[in-house]
Amino acid sequence: MIFTSLLLILGLTLLLKGGDWLVDGASTLARKYRISELAIGLTIVAFGTSAPELVVNVLASVDGHADIAFGNVIGSNNFNLLLILGLSGLIAPIAVGAGTVWKEIPMSLIAAVAMLLLANDQLFGESALVLSRIDGVILLALFALFLFYIYRNMRTEPQPDESTKKQHSLIKTILSIVGGLAGLILGGRLVVDSSIEIARFFQLSEKIIGLTIVAAGTSLPELVTSLIAVKKKNNDLAVGNILGSNIFNIFLILGISATIRPMPFSTAFNTDITILLVGTVALFVAMFTGVRKKLDRWEAALFVAFFTGYMIYLVLQ
């Protein structure tokens, strides 16, 4: 079991480093050919920050471990929203723009509602609850609409590259991309396999492992990004990182997972999705309590307390 635990830590480390290498290499390549910052943000950075969840979910889906896949997405979203945003708000109150209040927060709520409805429906002749390939295509279509929204609302002009002299050579850039992808694939495999072994050893369900260990591990990039953003007083980045990641996790990652292989859905996850819905609504309400359009410290403390209670509930299960 010690060896399996070490493999889990190694897998999580490879996921984090793989994501870093992939983003660095791809960003360098994009800037080398003067691709706009918008394109970099929508493709390279967005994919890089979601890569750990994506790799874990694809491998879990292929191997037929639906509870790991669902637990990873739902657990990561709750981790992002309640703990990461809560800790960020404790460091400093987070002020957000009107667009985030009226557009991004409702979109993240729509994503959670779509997951709940599609996973619990039996509209396409399924004999049991399952996130079907049709459901996966619907989620991917919603993801395409989300990207179109970003494109319409975040147009930027290509910016001149001021670090051309510091850029890596093309060979180093390609090696960084290839190495990043290799790290993600190997790390994802280690995380999935070792998590399943740990679950079996302690007689824990794959659901609990997915909601806790796997979800926390794959959310580490969001944790680091948001905490640094708050310290640098870049509030929009901190909130946008959380909301964007949650939308990507449901629409893109869960959509791809279900498209690869239909995933049986356990109604036990409905409680965890409900917590995600309640947390998202609470974030929206927090924009109108205390100081308007700001997550105050006392509100952030409530988010962390709510997450702590949620973790205790999972452990007691």
What are the structural domains, with CATH classification, of the chain? 2-316 (1.20.1420.30)
The pLDDT of residue 32: 76
Q: Is the pLDDT of residue 309 over 90?
A: yes
Q: Residue 42's pLDDT band (boundaries 50, 70, 90)?
A: very low
The pLDDT of residue 27: 66
Q: Average pLDDT, stretch 115-142?
A: 85
Quote the mean pLDDT of the chain.
82
H/E segment holding residue 294: strand 294-295
Instruction: Give the Cα separation of 11 and 187 in Å (integer).
Output: 4
CB 257 within 8 A of CB 58: yes
The pLDDT of residue 48: 67
Structure tokens at 210: 């997915």
Looking at per-residue pLDDT, the higher value among 129 and 226 belongs to 129
The pLDDT of residue 165: 43
Q: Which of 64-73, 169-178, 275-284 has the highest mean pLDDT?
A: 275-284
Least confident among 31-35, 166-170, 253-257: 166-170
Q: Average pLDDT, stretch 159-186?
A: 70
CB 216 within 8 A of CB 79: yes
Q: Average pLDDT, stretch 101-122?
A: 90
Q: Is the pLDDT of residue 47 over 70?
A: no
Instruction: Give the Cα separation of 181 and 225 in Å (integer).
Output: 20
Q: Which of 71-80, 115-124, 225-234, 235-244 has the highest mean pLDDT?
A: 71-80
pLDDT digits (tens, 9 = 90+) for 130-167: 999 999 999 999 999 988 887 776 555 445 454 444 45
Looking at per-residue pLDDT, the higher value among 1 and 264 belongs to 264
Which residues have CB under 8 Å from 63's CB, separation 6+? 192
- Cα-Cα-Cα-Cα dihedral of 54, 55, 61, 66, to 10°? -70
Q: Is the pLDDT of residue 98 over 60?
A: yes
Least confident among 153-162, 208-217, 298-307: 153-162
Looking at per-residue pLDDT, the higher value among 304 and 205 belongs to 304
Q: What is the DSSP letter of 82?
A: I
For a pLDDT cut of 70, what percent of the chain falls above it?
Answer: 85
Which residues have CB under 8 Å from 265's CB, separation 6+? 66, 70, 119, 120, 129, 130, 131
Q: Is the pLDDT of residue 103 over 60?
A: yes
Which residues have CB under 8 Å from 83's CB, separation 6+? 223, 303, 304, 307
CB 67 within 8 A of CB 207: yes
Instruction: Give the Cα separation of 116 and 252 in Å (integer).
Output: 15
Q: Judge residue 86's burial from the number of C-beta atoms within 10 Å of its C-beta, 0-12 exposed, 13-18 middle, 19 or more buried.
A: buried
- Residues comprising the chain, all counted: 317
The pLDDT of residue 108: 92
The pLDDT of residue 125: 56
Which residues have CB under 8 Å from 266's CB, separation 6+? 66, 67, 70, 129, 207
Least confident among 113-127, 190-204, 216-230: 216-230
The pLDDT of residue 41: 47
The label of the residue with tokens 């989620």 reads 139
pLDDT digits (tens, 9 = 90+) for 238-281: 777 788 889 989 999 999 999 999 999 999 999 999 999 999 99
The pLDDT of residue 233: 74
